[in-house]
Chains A and B, each alone.
Chain A
């Protein structure tokens, strides 16, 4: 009997195979498993998905900013309170969407920082490209962050106006000491943006597969940064470089520039989508909000006043259709984001012509590149099936052309801020045209101070 008991006791104890308790994740990747060149590249590709996310170029970099600087172009026909509040310039510092945009942007930055901290794992041939690409993501994201959450460069005092926290190295584990970061100045953030993007220009290849970023993607974005800083010669040079590369050409029809399964000939950088990988359908995504029900919710409806701004015969003025919102309100909708799962242009060649024109006009003197401003503007007008202008009355003609060309592409707020254009009764620098730092961050003692007026 004792013998049997001893055997049973042994059986009990022998179960104590502690290795059983070491269960590795099967759906996720522990940080210490990032150890090959392919792993590092995978983190870089992760950054693409963070931009595809509805909280970045996939939607809110567009919808939130278009509503924020909406004068009388968009009728908000939806039910979501946060969109309504932004449209009314009554942003709620507690609202989830603004926090998600903020968090997603730092998500991109973290991915880039992780890649940059692990460049040693890459082979010599990959290393330069991957570094350039990571810096492209980081630079562009900081540029958007500083424009969304801080006073614009055009408001001056850039060395004292708070920008956003500047993080250039990843956390490898939770570190309470790094919880409370100050906001770097607007100037410091811009400096980083320029450094990242110029580095990216020098390291990225001229062409790429899978619609990855190229040297010209970085240069095109750089031209926007220079415009914001009123560095017109540099802006014109960057835009000119892209145009002169001959890698891109305007689509024959304006309508061909949108709703493509992949990049059009004029996409310098675009977010790719498929039925399996996209920015959202039911409650998220650019098409969800801009496209008529039942494809989308049809809630960003275009006003008659906006459509009236186009001259007769303008192909862009005809690029609207009548539809209905999910709750039954009829209205006009833009065709730019009509279909699901299509490439989302982030920067198009058309913009480069308009940037070169405007920058050349503003800087004066001999134009950078082969064309005069009016020639560049007429290239865009003729694609829109409009007759050429004989002369430019003022630079405002170029700006007006820019708005019609790029309407509802999420670029408007950058122009409003840099050119100090008022929105309704709000001046360009009104606190209500700047998003609040998400209150959640402030509550945690992070990213202080809160923006004025919140």
Chain B
């Protein structure tokens, strides 16, 4: 005890001694234009003393009187040294136009842009903030070269296909790995598999994001080893600052959305006309072929009589029943059913408030958010609210601890999948002569051609609620300035319930009422523990990382279904009399990993990197449980060499190259085992053999080579980056078809497959990014950014397997993944109006069954990109952003119902049917119509379209309040803006080109299917008004 007191006294004395030698230095930090620089760090040179400037750029630092110089640094500025003289220093920082000192987040650490030897795209907060989207990836399209984002439909919260440098697997998932502040996220859909997959990333508030780094090449991603083959997306949330003053920021937006385009269907008059044309065709055909009339029982004496018979038959049996006694001949009813599926001016609103600040010891960011978006399609709606707290506390010079945590509640009011009659998207199939309201009952028309989905919209519900908590706690211990240790414990807790109710008045209710309650609890626990050692020896700099990570995921699901509801009064299962299904299921997987990385640089111009990761996973059998994933990279900053250093043209030039191996293990659990599934025959619960496993199953391996060039010209007025890559995937985790006779049958998905490591595929590509500060005056600025990425996917070897994604798409050797494989439509025979197909013999044929199936198109774009222009004049700013996609095909799978000339049903038709063949000699591309004898209604390339588009993704116009006004209002800044999303699109496709019906019974987005439209809801066109205020 005495000793301690003595020690304390000594310490105090010591401190007093230090104090007595201190000087107090005050000053302000500004940029060249005199604006205060936020968050500049001021260090007393030669000591550990540092402070941060406040929001006005002012700082006060006390330092030993021996200190003669201050070192000032801030993100986006070149570091500066200032000699201490006088009492109030004015330090001016120069902007870092080369952005070489920009901080870039990498796996388990961060580095400076100049030190990077891999290919990383960085997207900043402003690109994802205040956008009319549900999750941040939707806003990435066109921002980062090589990242292709396919919004699947205009429904809210649906799964989104994201591909980084192409699809690198056939049977395993090809979605990238998402990591938020060190925690890998659950991104597979947790929703009921009887509907389309949803996107779990909607639980993350885009406005909480500080930056998104996309690790594209192997050198940057291989540190994530077995999960990195599809690229890694690192999301860093906003953190506290060392500012003295806290900044409160308020954002609010209000949006109005409508569909980008409608398909356009026949009106009542045109429909009746088209029907009569069809009847005439049928009559002529019937007579010419000696058939006996529409009912097979009325042979006609001549063609005219036969036509009359058919017209009468159409009128009585096809038109009148749905007109409900209205005068359809004179257009008494003209319903636009397509309009019925959309809201008029769907509203969306968003509010969020955040506080960001801190002092020497404590740094914090806290936010609260609320978001409510109506989809353009009726019923469908998305709501999210929650909060975030990111807090870091320095305990002492060596130890700091902290927490990053977000809690969110997300709610989706859903509609049925695109393939269900009950989905609003299929209302367009109803006929225009069919009234909306039944004149007899004065209720919704129940006598429509197909069960009226407006009943489902009115009475049914499918509500999904997620409670999501993502976060971690961490501790950082610095043994010395060069050596530190960091430990993180993170979780991603996703709790979802989905409750559906189908009223007995609706089709889905089956006349008795049906309900379902589905829950999913998906919990990831993850810990990262690593040393970072970064010593400097004169011209040598090194950063070395050594650590481990363990991840465990537990999934618990249950599902109950019940039916027979006396009424709609109680929609819970409690209200049903008969429970028809109940189950619960648990799954676990885990990964145990070790990693090492070392980056060396000599004289800041020769860069070298090496990393290796070992991964072990429960997903593979004991024989092949571990995988090793190395990567090598090198860079050369030519512009730092003597011969370029003085160049006036070249301000930055860097060459880099990398090679590495990454893996993929996204195959679900227990694929290597022979398994039985439980069966529930009444009173005789049993096991059925359902899966053969390959005990030798191992990681899918992707080797990627990347060569990159970064340059800056004319003091970086023009800068750019270019990468070529070659990504070779081998040992594909391939679901190989095996003969059904072996009797291991997955009778839920109807498959006889075994997952094996078999086959190879490749992605090769080129990415170019150009940035220019075209006009850079004090009051007027114009900067421009253009990026384009080419990717070529090819399946090199799957041992001749035929792998179907659906009946329309396949993986075929020598072709890109997912090619459309079907009969080729060659047009219409002018003599007969028959559809012509390419026959097995290479000649045109009328006989569909003699037509050959072949590759008719590729759903993968040849190139994609974006083009942004930013203008600012005084307080005004204007941003104009285009995205484009080229070379992909879209198949309208609903063409065989909406443009088939009534052969497959009496559905209302798109306008193209008005151009159908009517008499010999007609030259047209639309075959003969007719319910009885029409032609060309079956699946063929007739409905395959060029899916290329260029789209004005966003225009936003903002005004920043002048400083004086802000001061007068006692706020730091304010911006008001209006923006338009998807205002203009150029495409040859007949509906919105951003389309991909996802299908059901899948938890993710399939690799082989894509670019298929089946009554899919188009993208919204949104006008957003926004206000952003900082206090």
Give A residues with C-beta under 8 Å from B. Answer: 1, 4-5, 8, 11-13, 15-18, 20-23, 25-32, 34, 39, 41-50, 52-53, 55, 79, 90, 94, 96, 99-100, 102-104, 106-111, 113-114, 165, 167, 170-174, 178-181, 210-212, 272-277, 281, 294-295, 326-328, 438, 440-441, 443-444, 446-447
Contact = CB atoms under 8 A, between A and B. Distances in A.
Given A21-B618, A30-B673, A276 B550 contact: no
B110 interface: no
B911 interface: no
A31 B673 contact: yes
Given A28-B675, A294-B511, 5 more contacts: A34-B687, A46-B681, A107-B747, A167-B741, A276-B682
A293 to B, nearest CB: 8
B675 A29 contact: yes
A48 B674 contact: no
28 contacts: A12-B547, A12-B594, A23-B590, A25-B675, A27-B586, A29-B677, A29-B678, A31-B673, A34-B676, A34-B687, A44-B686, A45-B685, A49-B688, A53-B747, A94-B807, A102-B740, A103-B750, A107-B744, A171-B742, A173-B693, A210-B684, A276-B680, A277-B681, A328-B321, A440-B737, A440-B740, A441-B740, A446-B741
B754 A21 contact: no
B581 interface: yes
Contact of A179 (B485, B695, B739): B739
B439 interface: no
A8 B744 contact: no
Given A79-B905, A174-B694, A181 B745 contact: no
B831 interface: no
A272 B682 contact: yes
A99 B751 CA distance: 10
Interface in B655-688: 669-670, 673-688
B743 interface: yes
Contacts of B683: 210-211, 272
Given A55-B747, A174-B692, A12 B679 contact: no
A273 B682 contact: yes
B674 A31 contact: yes
B745 A18 contact: no
B511 A49 contact: no
A301 to B, nearest CB: 15
B849 interface: yes
Contacts of B582: 276
Interface string B729-745: 00000000111111111
A99 B675 contact: no
B994 to A, nearest CB: 29
Given A46-B687, A277-B680, A179 B747 contact: no
Given A28-B677, A276-B581, A21 B617 contact: yes
Contacts of B618: 20-23
Nearest to B527: A15
B590 A49 contact: no
B373 interface: no
A275 B689 contact: no
A29 B741 contact: no
B479 A45 contact: no
B479 A179 contact: no
Contacts of A327: 449-450, 905
A106 B684 contact: no
A103 B741 CA distance: 7
A178 B742 contact: yes
A322 B675 CA distance: 46
Contact of A16 (B581, B586, B592, B693): B592
Given A15-B550, A21-B618, A25-B675, A49 B686 contact: yes
Given A104-B745, A275-B580, A39 B687 contact: yes
A390 B682 CA distance: 45
Nearest to A30: B673
Contacts of A28: 670, 675-678, 690-691
A96 B692 CA distance: 21
Contacts of B479: 1, 4-5
A315 to B, nearest CB: 27
Contacts, number: 251
Contacts of A443: 737, 802
Contact of A26 (B529, B586, B807): B586
B507 A294 contact: yes
Contacts of B744: 107, 110, 171
B852 interface: no
B548 interface: yes
Given A79-B904, A444-B738, A45 B692 contact: no
Contacts of B693: 173-174
Contacts of A438: 740
A405 B752 CA distance: 38
**Which among B447, B449, B745, B807 has the greatest number of chain A C-beta atoms within 10 A?**
B745
A444 B739 contact: yes
Interface string B411-453: 0000000000100000000000000000000000001011100
Nearest to A114: B689
B822 to A, nearest CB: 11
A294 B594 CA distance: 58
Given A18-B616, A43-B676, A277-B681, A25 B750 contact: no
Contacts of B691: 28
Contact of B739 (A42, A55, A173, A181): A181
Interface string B543-578: 000011010100000000001000000000000001
A9 to B, nearest CB: 8
Contacts of B301: none
A222 B179 CA distance: 63
Contacts of A444: 737-739
A50 B450 contact: no
A107 B687 CA distance: 12
Contact of B529 (A5, A8, A45, A104): A8
A104 B586 CA distance: 27
A29 B687 contact: yes
Contacts of B688: 43, 46-47, 49-50, 107, 111
Nearest to A101: B740
B782 interface: no
B529 A30 contact: no
Nearest to B514: A281
B510 interface: yes
Contacts of B750: 96, 99-100, 103
Nearest to B744: A110
Contact of B754 (A4, A107, A174): A174
Contacts of A272: 681-683
B67 interface: no
A43 B687 contact: yes
Given A5-B479, A21-B616, A43-B687, A106 B579 contact: no
Interface string B584-620: 0111111010100000000000000000000011100
A171 B511 contact: no
Contacts of B849: 90
A96 B690 CA distance: 18
Interface string B463-481: 0000000000000000110
A173 B681 contact: no
A23 B589 contact: yes
A168 to B, nearest CB: 11
Nearest to A108: B743
A21 B674 contact: no
A205 to B, nearest CB: 16
Contact of A106 (B580, B737, B740): B740
Contacts of A113: 743
B343 interface: no
A32 B673 CA distance: 10
B245 interface: no
Given A50-B747, A178-B742, A23 B686 contact: no
A444 B511 CA distance: 44
The 9 closest A-B pairs by CB, nearest first: A110-B743, A45-B686, A294-B511, A49-B679, A103-B740, A46-B686, A31-B674, A45-B684, A46-B688
